[in-house]
Amino acid sequence: MNRRDLIKLGTIGSLNACSKPNHIGVNAPTDEYFNWRMATTWPPNFPGLGAGALNLKRYIEDASQGRIRIELYAANELVPPFEVFDAVSQGSIEMGHSGAYYWRGKAEAVQFFSSVPFGMNAHEVNAWIYYGGGLELWTEVYEPFGVIPFPAGNSGVQMGGWFNKRIDTIEDLIGLRMRLPGIGGEVLRRAGGVPVTLPGAELFTALSTGVLDATEWVGPYNDIAFGLHQAARYYYYPGWHEPGPIMECIINQSAYEDLPSDLQAIVRVACQAANLDMISEYNARNARSLSQLINNEDVEILSFPRDVLNQLEKLTHEVIEELIARDAQSAKVWSSYQGFMSQSKGWLRISEKSYLAI
């Protein structure tokens, strides 16, 4: 690859920003071809999340001129949705596309690389990942598993979820069976609810048959695709549990290190391109889909009461404090995350927030 081509690839973002971790290889370019397999947590042909994985495949194949070929598998086509990490770690596949909080059983600190309740939004979390040390910490957490992570998508602030009853007080969450993964699920448990982790493809049936009382998924664009507006009436915002959820590309370390340096660069920059593309698509599609729901007389779009949000935020702090007290790795990641967020919010308050208030 010549310098001009590399510069063109880098227009999505600074190559230096995504080249900080010390796992970057130095193999010389070759004419060797690589056949990889990528499994995802998303249903086949699913808009947004599934499209993000497909775009990543295309970017890598096109930029490498076919020197990397990727077979893409949706959830359950090759491995179950919640076994993607193990498959990449064990080397049975080379790549995965998913969300880090599904692997909390491997290391609790991974949850900070998906989404933190009442945490940073997509713009902030990208800044932390690329320029605040987040990617280095993420790489460190995954290193014992032989897995290399890259951000490869973000849906932006999500909706609070679909409910079969109104939520007027925190007591309305007691006994509520809700699909809610990660730290948000632990907050729900602390509030008296029952968090459930289910893959997206099962949500409509679970909600419509009463297996679940409520579910969160993403936002109007994806929720309509699953028909969730036909399974519950009350649609709440904001998505306090996932203000800036990162979608990840995970790569088997040995497979990555086998690539020559120019192909490694292509993979890194393709992940940045997929990251930018997904948040752009969601901002466009959610706006259009929200209009559809607003005009649906069978749907009520409601804001969580301020008192409910305040109490959920208080419980979030309790859950995180207990987490970092028992897990040193989580404490290290949270220190970085919280420190960056405290600085970022000051800037957002006089920039984005003040502008939106005009």
- Bridge partners for 151 per DSSP: 248
Vertex 285: Cα angle to 283 and 289 (nearest 5):
120
DSSP E strand boundaries for the chain: 34-40, 68-73, 95-98, 147-154, 161-163, 177-179, 194-196, 214-215, 234-237, 246-252, 300-303
Q: Could you write out the DSSP letters of every residue in 89-121?
A: HHTSSSEEEE-GGGGTTT-GGGGGGT--TT---
**195 and 99 in one domain?**
no
Residues 182 and 331 in one domain: no
Mean pLDDT, residues 63-81:
97
One domain for residues 165 and 177 = yes
14-61 tens-digit pLDDT = 334 444 444 444 455 668 999 999 999 999 989 999 999 999 999 999
**Interval 168-181 mean pLDDT:** 97
Query: Is position 62 within any domain?
Result: yes
Does residue 316 sit within a domain? Answer: no
- Write down the pLDDT at residue 45: 87
For the stretch 290-332, pLDDT in tens is: 999 999 999 999 999 999 999 999 999 999 999 999 999 999 9
How much is the mean pLDDT over the chain? 92
Domain check: are 125 and 262 in the same one? Answer: yes
Residue 7 has pLDDT above 60, yes or no: no
CATH number for the domain that contains residue 174: 3.40.190.10
H helices present in 173-260, as ranges: 182-190, 203-208, 220-225, 253-258
Tell me: do 201 and 257 sit in the same domain: no
pLDDT in tens, 219-248: 999 999 999 999 999 999 999 999 999 999
pTM for the complete prediction? 0.88
If one counts the domains in the chain, the total is 2
Q: Is residue 86 part of a domain?
A: yes
The answer on 140 and 273 residing in a single domain is yes
Residues 53 and 101 in one domain: yes
Q: Are residues 224 and 186 in the same domain?
A: yes
Indicate whether 24 belongs to any domain. no
Range of 212's domain? 161-241+297-308
Instruction: Look up residue 211 and give its two tokens.
Output: 């297996």
- Whether 143 and 261 map to the same domain: the answer is yes
Residue 31, pLDDT score: 81
What angle separates helix 261-294 from helix 49-63, to the nearest 10 degrees?
150
pLDDT of 99-139, one tens digit each?
Answer: 999 999 999 999 999 999 999 999 999 999 999 999 999 99
CATH number of the domain bearing residue 336: 3.40.190.170
Quick one: 225 and 345 in the same domain? no
In this predicted structure, the answer to whether residue 6 has a pLDDT above a threshold of 70 is no
Please identify which residue in the block is written with the tokens 């497979």: 255
Dist CA 111 CA 115 (whole Å): 7
Both 121 and 78 in a single domain?
yes
Q: Are residues 86 and 131 in the same domain?
A: yes
Is 211 inside any structural domain? yes
What's the confidence (pLDDT) of residue 29? 62
